[in-house]
Amino acid sequence: QVGLEESGGGLVQAGDSLTLACAVSGRIHRSYAVGWFRQTPGQERKFVATIRWSGGNTYYSDSVKDRFIVSRDNADNTVYLQMNNLKPEDTAVYYCAAGLIGTNWIPWANWRAIGSWGQGTQVTVSS
């Protein structure tokens, strides 16, 4: 059983940077990745970024790939999401997730295919 706990959310201004952390407990298989989704009221969770637990390959949504950086520290079992040049449309609850990598990251296109979730952390970007 995998445990995921997010931290680092908060209120920032447009253009600021913020880093989220996801503390991972339990064993992550090498065929898995750990990453991030986000959700706004009335909307489904949307993929943000993910990193392969073994190897470090990354994958980003088009909306954040030039501004966000996902990384991991295997020594302390933590995955980070560094968010730069934040925009008001980045406002959401951010969820840490763990799931299969699959072929070409296909499972990460749909939150329903992801098996493990954290409780979420709120990020609010004011204009």
- Residue 1's pLDDT is 83
Residue-wise pLDDT tens digits, 22-80:
999 998 888 999 999 999 999 999 999 999 999 889 999 999 999 999 999 988 999 99
The whole-angstrom separation of Cα 104 and Cα 89 is 27
Percent of the chain with pLDDT over 90: 85
| Predicted pLDDT of residue 90 | 98
DSSP string, 42-104: TS--EEEEEEETTT--EEE-TTTTTTEEEEEETTTTEEEEEE-S--GGG-EEEEEEEEE--ST
Looking at residue 10, its pLDDT comes to: 97
